[in-house]
Structure 1
Amino acid sequence: MAHRRAALQREAQHWLLRLTSGSATMHDATAFEHWCGQSPAHVEAFAQTRRLWENLGPAADAWMAAEQTRTAAPAPAPRAAALPRTQPRMSRRAFLGAAIAASAALVVLHPPLQLWPSLTDMVADYRTATGEQREIDLGHGVVVQMNTQTAINMRTSSDQAIGIELLGGEIQVKSTGARAAAVSVFAGNGRVDVGTMAKCNVRCDATDVQVTGLEGATTLRYQGQVAVLQTAQRAQYGEGGVGRVTPADIDAVMAWRRRVLIFDGQPLADVVREINRYRPGKVILANDALAQRKVQARFSLNQLADVAALIQDAYGAKVTSLPGGIVILS
């Protein structure tokens, strides 16, 4: 048993080194989540390693530097070996800690399991924490509603908002009123033009952007492709180009404004992924059969602290709770 714990600690240390090396890929992020999902012991081993690093402060920098020098090409963690050099690189992030001087800030990728904000989110013009929602009045008839875990930067001209850069998360943009002006949302290498006297919902997950027209006309522009949305229509764009325009359930799209989540036949895996945007920590599904179960449910955001118990009652899932709000469903 002691030998197994020591082995897990070594693997967790390898993961921390790999994720902070500046050379990890999206494949690594997927492999890391798979590694965490193998057992509660895996998650706890990484949590202990991270807590140790945070508590050490500057001493951790020296340890990291020594380890990365000693292992000039760090040994890959399990399931992440022999990655092609052509794999797309993940963007770098700097993890800021109160005990770490700015000159020694550690460069990291997307925070593992999204347990803390990235530097890009921290320095955004506006951002919301997990579970937080916020309204921003940009003036000239333009109002932005920000959902949980959302970060935006403003593009202005002559003190007037002419563009919103959605770094990640979800917003509703309304351009209404007597002095309303058209405004553009830049997200995922594309652009969403919100017409005068119009309203739309824009959600950016990694490279995919989903747009729903709520009132008036909204125009999507991505790599030379254009789509126009009217009220109750939706489309998405990303690596596959611009998708087709389809009808949208406005009540479901706007449910987050009422602090409600609505699920109508989605797999439990998708439900958990959505719930993780609103609650601290992370719910991890470690059961493939359970992940495919279809869900019909309506959750108040105030219920999410008890969501694991609700899933346990409804589907008989085994629940393992760990420090930091991490929950394993198996």
Structure 2
Amino acid sequence: MSNIQRNSHIENVAIEWLVKLNRDTVPSELEAEFMAWLQSSPAHQAAYIRAEQLWQRGEALQKLAQTTAQQPVKANFYFGWQGLSACAAILIVCLCVWLLPSAQQEILHFQTAKGQQLHIDLNDGSKVLLNTSSALDVAYTSSQRTVSLLQGEAFFDVAKDTKRPFDVETHQGTVRVVGTRFAVQHTELDTVITVLEGKVALGDKSDSSIFEQAVLLTPNQQTTFAETKLGLKPKVIDAEKNLSWRKQHLVFRGQPLRDVVEELNRYSSTVIVLGDASLANKNVTAVIQLGEKGVTAETLGSALQLNVTKDNSGRVVLSR
């Protein structure tokens, strides 16, 4: 098989995967098989990004039909899920910690380096996944469960306890729940709250530690403390996709390349930069497996037809 034939075959397989995954319900086994194929080669990853671009223009099935008409075997596929695309594989260090119960308040500190994630099991059955470059303190008493998010981002799966509310304290305000699954992220100027399951209240604690609720979030809603203070309504989002970092990959749906690069740079000390300012608004649709930054940049560059080089300081540069 020539290189041209091999590349054409890979692109057709990528389109077939896109069609198979374009269902309302995707079995976990099928998704795992897809991720294994995606991670097995940068060529697969680049081909899948191109397939997504063809799909958005309505050309993917037409291209597949033209190719398969020339082949003795036809592919069978299902129509389904929109959204997954390509990228490179990275190993993220994941640790697991068990917190022992304490009769008195004890402040426990946890922190991750860039590119690390930390699994924390709390003694009440709650679980925390601390994302890259993040830090938090945990303080439990007989009447209160308090987590202080000092920096970065964390996902919380909170065990229900009506007698002890679960508070996440940030620089901008307090997030209170009884039992739910949600994420809190510190940005440069604000705090973003995303709800996957249950209900989450945002507000402030007065000097007497009485919680004053400002807004109540429900599943697939997202807001910030700044937006809440301005009286803006929470955004309706796909929380599962928005919080895809929990599964060690990032999902982008038409985001500008500058935002994609900014997000990738949260996970590695190797910095990606844009060598051409005009690339900043280039839309990217992709699923990027958190992995080796150089491979990720190579994959993006190949799929978007960009050059990938390194400058004298070791930064990865994407340019035309």
Superposed pair shares fold, TM > 0.5: yes
Q: Is it true that 1:131 corresponds to 2:154 in the alignment?
A: no
The answer to whether the 8 Å contact 1:141/1:179 transfers is no
Query: 1:260/1:228 Cα in 2 relative to 1: closer, same or farther (>3 Å)?
Result: same
Q: Is it true that 1:150 corresponds to 2:134 in the alignment?
A: yes
Q: Is it true that 1:220 corresponds to 2:208 in the alignment?
A: no
SS class of match (2:241): helix
Partner in structure 1 of residue 219 of structure 2? 231
Amino acid at match of 2:252: F
The one-character-per-residue Cα deviations of 1:103-123 (angstroms, maximum 9, x if unpaired) are: xxxxxxxxxxxxxxxxxxxxx
Q: CA deviation at 1:254?
A: 2.7
Partner in structure 2 of residue 319 of structure 1? 308
Alignment of 1:101-180 (within 5 A): 125-157=109-141, 162-176=145-159
Question: Which deviates more from structure 2 when the two are superposed, residues 232-241 or residues 166-175?
Answer: 232-241
Q: CA deviation at 1:200?
A: 0.8
Q: CA deviation at 1:221?
A: 1.5
Partner in structure 2 of residue 9 of structure 1? none
Query: 1:329/1:222 Cα in 2 relative to 1: closer, same or farther (>3 Å)?
Result: farther
How many residue pairs are counted as aligned between the two chains?
205
Query: 1:324/1:131 Cα in 2 relative to 1: closer, same or farther (>3 Å)?
Result: farther
Query: 1:229/1:283 Cα in 2 relative to 1: closer, same or farther (>3 Å)?
Result: same
Cα distance in 1, alignment partners of residues 316 and 166 from structure 2: 41
Query: 1:132/1:229 Cα in 2 relative to 1: closer, same or farther (>3 Å)?
Result: same
- What fraction of aligned residue pairs are identical, expressed as a percent? 30
SS class of match (2:225): strand
Alignment of 1:39-58 (within 5 A): none
The one-character-per-residue Cα deviations of 1:267-295 (angstroms, maximum 9, x if unpaired) are: 00000000011122211223221111000
Partner in structure 1 of residue 285 of structure 2? 296
Partner in structure 2 of residue 244 of structure 1? 233
Partner in structure 2 of residue 33 of structure 1? none
Query: 1:257/1:311 Cα in 2 relative to 1: closer, same or farther (>3 Å)?
Result: same
C-alpha RMSD of matched pairs (Å): 2.7
Partner in structure 2 of residue 273 of structure 1? 262
The answer to which structure, 1 or 2, has the higher relative contact order (CA under 8 A, 6+ apart) is 2
Runs of at least 5 residues in structure 2 that lack an aligned partner in the other structure: 1-107, 206-211
TM-score under structure 1 length normalisation: 0.56
Partner in structure 2 of residue 13 of structure 1? none
Give structure 1 regions of 4+ aligned residues with deviation exceeding 6 angstroms.
Answer: none
SS class of match (2:216): strand
SS class of match (1:277): helix
Runs of at least 5 residues in structure 1 that lack an aligned partner in the other structure: 1-123
The one-character-per-residue Cα deviations of 1:150-179 (angstroms, maximum 9, x if unpaired) are: 111223435x86211112211111222579
The one-character-per-residue Cα deviations of 1:233-258 (angstroms, maximum 9, x if unpaired) are: 11112388354212120221231111
